[in-house]
């Protein structure tokens, strides 16, 4: 048995398992309803939480406001936690993001959290729409992150501290994660008092380059390990789709090596669960977030995967992660 208590019901909590949700190429009305449906199926299937990512201008399979969509899911479910992960904090005033999250937390106590990032140069449309120079994204993010993190743990200053929902964060703090691209970002997250959410494109052995400096800087927050996984027969379409998508992004060659080596796929639920536990433990993480998506994945197939993964893989993962952490 592990030496630390598990907290899967807390957003990004120790030992938790969550799933990333996407719109699967649907029109807006159908996509919004389908995100909620995925959240409901994930809850019924035994997942602890769901996450939604942000991009703008209809880029790939993302939505422009994942916090808004998360609130819709929370309103249609009873237990599961939800949150943006990541949300592009370089595009938004941290004080307003803090108020939005705090009021959602007031309505759904302890069921919202957030992962935040500066954004990526592979999606310049985000900065065009927001009217922010892309080259300033990391500098802005560095200023915004500690402000947001302090507010959501109940340590807001100035007039923001007068907001009643922000004041509630003293009783029910909202977990905050920071994306990380190197040791400096890891140290920044540790200093800001946030957790970490490395990219799913990072190989497990490379995550120590981020996580070790984070822990050395005093980081004590959740460390959410993103992994791509599938319960079922191996299918070359999925791998080819991921490689094709990431070929348009920086470090495409490294991404291809990663997907071939670290994509967890098996018809044996124990084998999938073992792969996830090994990823969390091997990276010194505390929780795992599953990315099922690939471009050709149809909505009904996604719902079946959520249901089957929750029924067969999640129970085994819970038992093994409790022993490992």
Q: Which residues of 44-57 are buried (b: 16+ CB within 10 A; e: fewer)?
A: ebbbbbbbbbbbbe
Confidence band, pLDDT 50/70/90 cuts, at residue 63: very high
Residue 213 bridge partners (DSSP):
none
pLDDT tens-digit series, residues 92-124: 999 999 999 999 999 999 999 999 999 988 889
Angle between helices 137-152 and 183-192 (to 10 degrees): 30
pLDDT tens-digit series, residues 126-144: 999 999 999 999 999 999 9
**Is 6 within 8 Å of 13 (Cβ atoms)?**
yes
Residues 322, 325: Cα–Cα separation, whole Å: 6
Residues 161, 171: Cα–Cα separation, whole Å: 14
Which residues, 6+ apart, have CB-to-CB distance to 140 below 8 Å?
89, 90, 118, 132
- pLDDT at 254 (0 to 100): 47
- pLDDT at 242 (0 to 100): 65
Residue 60 Cα distances to 25, 53, 128, angstroms? 8, 11, 16
Longest dimension (CA), the chain: 55
Residue 23 has pLDDT above 90, yes or no: yes
In the block, which residue shows the tokens 């019901």? Answer: 9
Residues 290, 228: Cα–Cα separation, whole Å: 6
Q: Which secondary-structure segment (H or E) carries 271?
A: helix 269-283
Give the residue among 227, 234, 249, 233 at the shortest CA–CA distance from 293: 227
Angle between helices 66-75 and 28-45 (to 10 degrees): 50
pLDDT tens-digit series, residues 232-259: 988 777 667 666 655 555 444 444 555 5
- pLDDT at 1 (0 to 100): 46
Looking at domain 17-324, its CATH superfamily turns out to be: Luciferase-like domain (3.20.20.30)
Half-sphere exposure of 221 (CA within 13 A, CB side): 30
In the block, which residue shows the tokens 């959740």? Answer: 222
**Rounded average pLDDT over 259-266:** 75
Residues 258, 237: Cα–Cα separation, whole Å: 16
In the block, which residue shows the tokens 């398992």? Answer: 17
pLDDT tens-digit series, residues 268-277: 999 999 999 9
**Is 216 within 8 Å of 277 (Cβ atoms)?**
no
pTM of the model: 0.93
**Rounded average pLDDT over 299-320:** 97
Residue 300 has pLDDT above 90, yes or no: yes
> Residues in the chain, how many?
325
Please tell me the least confidently modeled range out of 46-55, 222-231, 251-260, 308-317.
251-260
Provide the residue ranges of all domains of the chain, joining segments of one domain with +.
Answer: 17-324
Confidence band, pLDDT 50/70/90 cuts, at residue 227: very high
- The phi-psi region of residue 82 (left if phi > 0; otherwise alpha if psi is between -120 and 50; otherwise beta) is beta
Could you say which DSSP state residue 90 is in?
G
- pLDDT at 137 (0 to 100): 96
Which residues, 6+ apart, have CB-to-CB distance to 152 below 8 Å?
98, 101, 102, 114, 169, 173, 174, 176
**Is 211 within 8 Å of 223 (Cβ atoms)?**
yes
pLDDT tens-digit series, residues 175-219: 999 999 889 999 999 999 999 999 877 888 889 888 999 999 999
Residues 300, 286: Cα–Cα separation, whole Å: 31
């Amino acid at each position: 048995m592990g030496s630390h208590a598990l907290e899967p019901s807390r957003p990004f909590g120790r030992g938790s398992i969550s799933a990333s949700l996407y719109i699967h190429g649907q029109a807006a009305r159908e996509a919004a309803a389908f995100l909620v449906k995925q959240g409901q199926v994930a809850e019924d299937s035994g997942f602890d939480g769901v996450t939604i990512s942000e991009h703008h201008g209809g880029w790939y399979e993302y939505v422009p406001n994942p916090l808004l969509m998360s609130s819709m899911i929370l309103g249609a479910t009873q237990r599961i936690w939800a949150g943006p992960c990541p949300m592009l904090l370089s595009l938004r005033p941290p004080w307003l993001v803090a108020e939005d999250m705090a009021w959602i937390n007031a309505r759904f106590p302890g069921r919202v959290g957030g992962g935040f990032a500066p954004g990526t140069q592979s999606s310049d449309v985000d900065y065009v729409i927001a009217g922010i120079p892309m080259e300033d994204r990391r500098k802005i993010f560095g200023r915004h992150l500690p402000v947001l993190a302090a507010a959501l743990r109940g340590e807001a200053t100035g007039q923001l501290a007068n907001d009643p929902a922000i004041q509630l964060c003293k009783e029910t703090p909202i977990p905050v994660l920071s994306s990380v691209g190197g040791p400096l970002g890891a140290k920044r997250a540790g200093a800001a008092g946030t957790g970490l959410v490395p990219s799913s494109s990072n190989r497990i052995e490379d995550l120590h380059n981020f996580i070790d400096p984070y822990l050395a800087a005093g980081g004590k927050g959740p460390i959410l390990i993103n992994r791509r996984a599938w319960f079922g027969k191996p299918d070359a379409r999925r791998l080819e789709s991921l490689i094709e998508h990431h070929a348009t992004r920086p470090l495409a060659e490294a991404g291809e090596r990663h997907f071939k080596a670290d994509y967890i796929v098996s018809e044996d639920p124990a084998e999938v669960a073992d792969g996830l536990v090994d990823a969390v433990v091997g990276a010194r993480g505390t929780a795992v977030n599953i990315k099922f998506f690939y471009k050709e994945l149809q909505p009904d197939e996604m719902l079946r995967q959520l249901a089957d993964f929750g029924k067969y893989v999640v129970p085994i993962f819970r038992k093994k992660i409790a022993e490992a952490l």
